Structure 1
């Protein structure tokens, strides 16, 4: 039986550990926190998982919260006008529903499942020196802990990393008491509110430790008016600042947030990081090799909501690559080809996310505007969040965008 060590117990590490475990591998999982510490700790993310990523969980029978989490059936875009009204407002319908489960709920539950099924769970923060030792006792060591000392083993890939500084200041609040969006009270949607030159507000339904909730997530251009959360330690002050900015920049969202309260004292988060693609192989002082997973090797800004989706897709690609490899050694060539398999999908996420961090060109503004009049455009844009590769067909190139809009307009006129 092949022995595999996974360091890091997030979406990718746990999904991979449970998948390998169910395929008969002897898996050790290292986490710097227990399941109880995760469940009672601070919120970690603003995850919203779309159909493809959710299917990877279903395939492994890990979709434990599917019946409890809100079913997100649409994705809407609003663009603020200079007078804080809405210049653009529409919602696209998803082909398959999306869902968000607070990672405190999911990671704690998955970690307990892994241990109950006989997995070796080690609660310990790992250093490079630890991995040097473990690389001699395991057939394969993978690092899926996206922060801290271990990430420094993986060199930055400058050719794939156009940014060397954070492009947004991030601020998250999990709340109860959010009213429905009046434009579509009969179904849930993620709402993306774009404030040109200032930043973005995302509102997404979620399942948290205390049940149904909503995530309020500001992405502010550094140095701008939304970059206002540094130094705020008190959760109630964080929420008050969130709402103050909503009232100023997105009053249509503030109107349904006047009665919100934090889900819990750990329901806020703020920070920033530079989007980075890293080389997938880490070389240890003793000569051993480790393979980077998910955020360790491809860390995108959350503006396109791809973090947990990419983590799930990475775990799926790595799982299949490991199983197909049989008893052969997990050498550098295999590690590179395994990462390349994931990069086939990840490259589209990186391209799209980095584009969304910039000032949108005229043809993209035309596309977003047209979605307000042409429902097929809104629907296709929404479903791009599930399959970002499709954006290559109608988003980046002005000629492709114009041809697509002409085609849809013609079909609408003929109908």
Structure 2
């Protein structure tokens, strides 16, 4: 009996309307001291309020499940993207109700405003839609959906609790992968800012025989077909397929820096997943290596259907470290693991030219055996600071130092290019687009 009473009591909440009514009753009792003609009116009004209170409680608790609610989400959330969340509500009372819905979102979002107010007619169904944007990978615990239900009388609210203790994992960004896949297949990647460069292949993979046109390589003339047709015919070839594309992700302290709530490591992980997805669509093999003071995960390049899912499972658990990356261990791993010439995209960051000089000997060795692309980041905070006009002497100092660091970043790119190492200096927001553009350009130029 005590448990039943406690269950009803803990979910019963008094409303402002009830306190207003009780305040009015108190006012009537005070006025009765001065105006005797009020007689029994205060007692009658108070009794009426009490009866309405009991009636409100009865009609709200008469149905065991007067309101139903459940949260509709995907099985996992996409890091750095807006993930749609839906709450579906159904009124099973015989009258319309006023609802105050509070969704207890995971603490990582630090949100206290996911509450909604709506009216729901008898037997009707409504849905609430909103988005959540996680900025860290890991497990996110959702709490209850708290639904405070009020009858037309409106003196009390009954609370319902639904969908408690739901845990969703946050994986590297995957929401846009389907769009990249669709655009890649339909050759409309330019809609995402991705340029497609067309060039006739010169590899050993035969494509077709076609009529000669001005500009075709005369070395590809097919003399037998020319004799049969009576006009010049040439062989055309497609780009070589099934090349290895490896993403190497630096997990050292230089990748901890945040931009728009996401760390550089998360930007690199999201870009790697998108790049490897496009590479597999282009019939290439996708592989992964993670690096910090030691070698982390190593996934050999494959093109099997489960490869991308395996890569995402590995990247889901990766975290930044506090030490510098071990480039000697990386070079040894690449020489022992990657047996044929491959495209190696190295995601890292350099804050100074001296930091690049320490790693440059190993980068030069890697570039001897593979097509190496080094990806590092612009400091967008410094860039915005250099654009703003200086207002005082201190502002001039800050602006000058910011311009010095920006210039040094450009010097790093020139230093890499001097040794034949391709580089991408990009803002974190444009990382994915720029990396895929570079891959498609190299593919079209038959560099891989």
Q: TM-score range by the shorter chain?
A: under 0.3
Q: TM-score, normalised by structure 2?
A: 0.20
Q: TM-score, normalised by structure 1?
A: 0.22
The structure carrying a bigger strand percent of its residues is 2
